[in-house]
Amino acid sequence: MNLKLIIALVNDDVTEKVLNAARDAGATGSTVINNARGEGRHRHRTFFGLELVAQCDVLLFAVEAKLAGKVLNAINESGGFETRSGSGMAFQLSVEDARGLDGQLEAMLGNL
């Protein structure tokens, strides 16, 4: 099986929306890492010079390579990455080898 790992960094207020969109596009599961912190090119500041940093979540999706583009596009659209600055980002990496997916294989192959 040819797999891709999609990593999405999203503001925590859109995590569920992104998870649902990825599932609708064919992702069979996800790992969510809560309370990450991101920093962009420009620091966000509030009054008195205090830094305001929103919490974000890291979402990990192992998907069949043929579905990766569709899932990545759904994540991008639902997260608003192209329309709102600082809303998050997503990218995919090739997976050389994986274990522990036996319970997911049937569902992954069924989505092709």
**Domains present along the chain, CATH in parentheses:** 3-96 (3.30.70.120)
Summarised one tens digit per residue, pLDDT across range 85-94 is 778 999 999 9
Does the pLDDT at position 106 exceed 80?
A: no
Q: Express each pLDDT in 11-62 by its tens digit.
A: 989 999 999 999 999 999 999 999 887 666 666 666 666 666 678 999 999 9
Whole-number Cα distances in Å, 83 to 44, 51, 76, 93 = 18, 23, 10, 24
pLDDT at 109 over 80: no
In the predicted model, what is the mean pLDDT of residues 72-87?
90
Amino acid 78: pLDDT: 95
